Structure 1
């Protein structure tokens, strides 16, 4: 079985190829996250309510999820796009965008774009003894708050998640906020981080679609020695029917996502 053990469910996503004609970028909409209301002033983060640390039982996995993300050795047979450290299932209508550092030409991440939203994924090496998500989540939260944004934890499809809103200056000089949903998953000697931005933040159906996709990813850790939090190497995909390869700039997770309601 995969990282999470349960009876395998039917997939909520199907499709054999990506659409090479869809070259649209995620729409820069103005959806707010549920429950945020109209108070846009930066606030202090809530205390980290980690269910596992608090001794509570993890929330049951949704019916729309597969058993993953999977370790390479336990992944079920399925057609996937090989990105080196990650393998991504082919989804009808999905656009794959690779993050490439322009200075080193190193591939640093992948963006899976569907219906005006984007799921940015990266895999990192992790120690055998413990996971990384708790520490990474705290660091991310502190960074957002230091920049004048808001960050709070909540229970999500894969455990404790981080919901952030980072302030940005608009072209007209006023301040807007970019929302993002950070998901972290600790695997076997690897850690997978996903950042959801766009329309799916305010649309439960689209959100579930990305959660299903995330639960079908495969992490290829390899057997070589790697330092904790070291990025597992990625590469551009080889030729694949229907795949449109797009190079973009260096990864900057906290600066991504659509602007929402302006203030000031």
Structure 2
């Protein structure tokens, strides 16, 4: 009799555990292993999303997903509104927690060297770094998961800093991280799997940047009086042609995208605009991204 009761209790406990494992907790970020159906998860939230393999980013209603090239020419995905720009990232981490604390310390030291007014405050997930820059507020929110560390970086104007923080937290709590099982150095950023259509647009953006740089270099040579050689003239013509081709391809891609949006988007979020060159706000955040440890 007691054996049957014990068996029934164990069965109920096992069923409850299975149910808990099948339902992601309300507060993320989540490990991919606890999200059975990514599309259903974001559909239930009313979000769009983009699946980048190691990182799935949810896009709440009323927000755009932009793609940009960082200073190293690598793609970044930004969730943006008129209030904030939120950049999610994920890194490999040791089995033991503590990497986020180290990352916060490193960022603080670097920002203080650049003259920023930096503080560390308590947030829903623990430490948040806040740096006041000329005309902007930078906030970093992160946490350690199972052999990974998730992070978002939020940029906003000082007047919008508090609202931007809340928008960033909303994105952060629904990130999904798929670290994989292979060995990776700690703090190494998880590689993203870029959808083909976005990869093609990024290639066009890189070509456009390269053509613009070639054209600018030639113009500088002309201004310095060193552009009289035929070979340089030929290079100028090639640069101009390449730039024109890149711009035409980018315009065509944008027209296709606008047509798709006019027909109504699917659940996965689509980029709101063409990938851009490194942004003109060469701020402390951009300089931070040049540090491989961050």
TM range (shorter): 0.5 to 0.7
Taking a change above 3 Å as real, the CA distance of residues 209 and 165 of structure 1, as seen in their structure-2 partners, is closer
Partner of residue 144, structure 2: 186
Measure how far apart 1:205 and its partner are.
Answer: 5.1
Q: Secondary structure at the residue paired with 2:166?
A: helix
Measure how far apart 1:139 and its partner are.
Answer: 0.8
Alignment of 1:183-262 (within 5 A): 183-198=141-156, 202=160, 204=162, 207-237=165-195, 241=266, 243-244=270-271, 246-249=274-277, 254-255=284-285
Does structure 1 retain, via aligned residues, the 8 Å contact 2:93–2:99? yes
Q: Secondary structure at the residue paired with 1:98?
A: strand
Q: Secondary structure at the residue paired with 1:144?
A: helix
More helix as a share of residues: 2
Structure number with larger C-alpha Rg? 2
Quote the RMSD (CA, aligned, Å).
3.2
More strand as a share of residues: 1
Partner of residue 130, structure 1: 97
How many angstroms apart in 1 are the aligned matches of 2:29 and 2:195? 19
Relative CO higher for 1 or 2, CA cutoff 8 Å, sep ≥ 6? 1
Does structure 1 retain, via aligned residues, the 8 Å contact 2:139–2:165? no
Are residues 1:165 and 2:132 paired? yes
Taking a change above 3 Å as real, the CA distance of residues 254 and 216 of structure 1, as seen in their structure-2 partners, is same
Please list every run of 5 or more consecutive structure 1 residues that lacks an aligned counterpart in the other structure.
10-65, 167-175, 257-264
Q: How many residues align?
A: 186
Does structure 2 retain, via aligned residues, the 8 Å contact 1:131–1:191? no
Q: Normalising by structure 2, report the TM-score.
A: 0.55
Q: Normalising by structure 1, report the TM-score.
A: 0.60
Does structure 2 retain, via aligned residues, the 8 Å contact 1:124–1:192? yes
Partner of residue 172, structure 1: none
Are residues 1:82 and 2:51 paired? yes
Residue 33 (structure 2) aligned to one of 53, 70, 73: 73
How many angstroms apart in 2 are the aligned matches of 1:137 and 1:253? 18
Taking a change above 3 Å as real, the CA distance of residues 86 and 8 of structure 1, as seen in their structure-2 partners, is closer
Measure how far apart 1:184 and its partner are.
Answer: 1.5
Taking a change above 3 Å as real, the CA distance of residues 148 and 193 of structure 1, as seen in their structure-2 partners, is same
Deviations 1:92-112 (A, max 9, x none): 222112343576x543x3211
Please list every run of 5 or more consecutive structure 2 residues that lacks an aligned counterpart in the other structure.
1-16, 43-48, 198-264, 287-294
Does structure 1 retain, via aligned residues, the 8 Å contact 2:83–2:163? no
Taking a change above 3 Å as real, the CA distance of residues 110 and 131 of structure 1, as seen in their structure-2 partners, is farther
